[in-house]
């Protein structure tokens, strides 16, 4: 069996509310994450942001419409549903127009994905690309937009990545501890229907991905030596931090699928040299720490809204 098909779960820690709020891990988030940051290992903290207002408010279309009723806020969207793909076109539209699109999409296709990737009752051979896909022509992904000012009070930003308290909203965890320089670079909003994808890529900065609405599936690969080109980054018109390979071709038991055969032919090093992949399903309220330069592929299982922060 090739290394690219070897699958492992991402480390995870479950947050348990107690009578006075969250556990000590929640209050000392930087201390808990320190060994993961030091060793550059990803980890999921279940429920880390479940108390953030966004986790409840953002499920309501009425809330979004009220938040932007008096605004002409424009957002960049990917026509085709895959961020950065050469098959997608990035255009700007009013955010209220995008909200109308999402409502119409849900009326047609529903909000919840049919196949639950973390459901052991779903046979592995049904967890394939075709089991719940939506035509790309119907997908519009609001990917990597600066978080609008109207939503800043809805989220929590980990204090360890903004030691200068540059974010005016509520912080998460001990405000006296930082990881790295504690320098916050950006806060991004990601929103889209099920089927939207961020292709396999890496970021140069450490990343906290906070899930507020719906579920996302994340596949991760650790960085490897610069001499290994298993990812074929920069090929087929992609950016130098982005791979043309869809790692989902390794899902299921169909070793003769057209998609897998294409990868075998075009990108043989992916099957021969890719490190074992890690996988997790993010639920509303979860936080995923993605170390700098870890390759990751993200797919929305349901209508999804997420916020990520990059820091150094």
Identify the pLDDT of residue 6.
63
SS3 category, 65: helix
Identify the pLDDT of residue 126.
47
Give the residues across from 254 on adjacent strands.
none
> Cα separation of 29 and 115, whole Å?
33
What DSSP string describes 69-88?
TT---EEEEEETSBTT-TT-
Identify the pLDDT of residue 19.
35
Which parts of the chain are beta strand (E)? 7-9, 11-14, 43-46, 74-79, 89-94, 140-146, 156-158, 170-172, 184-192, 197-201, 206-213, 216-221, 277-282, 287-290, 295-300, 304-311
Identify the pLDDT of residue 24.
52
Question: Would you tell me how many other CB atoms lie within 10 Å of the CB of residue 132?
Answer: 18
SS3 category, 223: coil
The CATH number that applies at residue 76 is 2.60.120.650
Q: Where are the alpha helices (DSSP H) in 45-164?
A: 54-57, 61-67, 95-109
Identify the pLDDT of residue 110.
87
pLDDT mean for each 10 residues of the chain (312 residues): 63 58 60 91 92 96 95 95 78 97 93 59 47 80 96 92 70 72 93 95 96 97 86 82 92 72 93 94 95 96 96 92
State pTM to two decimals: 0.88
Number of domains comprising the chain: 1
Q: Would you state the torsion angle of the CA atoms of residues 34, 155, 162, 203, taken in this order, to the nearest 10 degrees? A: 70
Residue 196 lies in domain = 3-311
């Amino acid at each position: 069996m090739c290394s690219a098909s070897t699958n492992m779960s991402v480390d995870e820690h479950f947050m348990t509310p107690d009578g006075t709020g969250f556990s000590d891990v929640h209050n000392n988030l930087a201390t808990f994450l320190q060994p993961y940051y030091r060793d550059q290992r990803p980890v999921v903290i279940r429920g880390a942001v479940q108390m953030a207002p966004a986790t409840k408010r953002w499920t309501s279309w009425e809330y979004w419409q009220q938040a932007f009723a008096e605004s002409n806020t424009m957002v960049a969207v990917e026509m085709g549903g895959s961020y950065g793909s050469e098959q997608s076109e990035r255009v700007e539209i009013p955010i209220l127009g995008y909200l109308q699109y999402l409502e119409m999409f849900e009326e047609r296709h529903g909000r919840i994905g049919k196949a639950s990737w973390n459901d052991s009752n779903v046979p592995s051979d049904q967890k394939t690309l075709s089991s719940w896909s939506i035509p790309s022509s119907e997908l519009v992904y609001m990917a990597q937009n600066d978080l609008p000012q109207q939503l800043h009070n809805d989220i929590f930003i980990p204090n360890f990545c903004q030691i200068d308290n540059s974010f005016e909203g509520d912080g998460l965890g001990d405000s006296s501890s930082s990881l790295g320089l504690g320098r916050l670079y950006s806060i991004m909003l990601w929103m889209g229907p099920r089927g939207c994808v961020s292709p396999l890529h890496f970021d140069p900065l450490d990343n906290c991905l906070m899930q507020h609405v719906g579920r996302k599936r994340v596949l991760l690969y650790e960085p490897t030596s610069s001499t290994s080109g298993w990812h074929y980054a920069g090929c087929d018109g992609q950016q130098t931090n982005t791979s043309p390979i869809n790692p989902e071709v390794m899902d299921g038991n169909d070793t003769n699928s057209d998609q897998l055969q294409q990868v075998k032919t075009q990108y043989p090093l992916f099957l021969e040299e890719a490190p074992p992949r890690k996988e997790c399903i993010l639920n509303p309220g979860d936080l995923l720490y993605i170390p700098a330069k870890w390759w990751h592929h993200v797919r929305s299982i349901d209508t999804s809204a997420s916020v990520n922060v990059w820091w150094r």
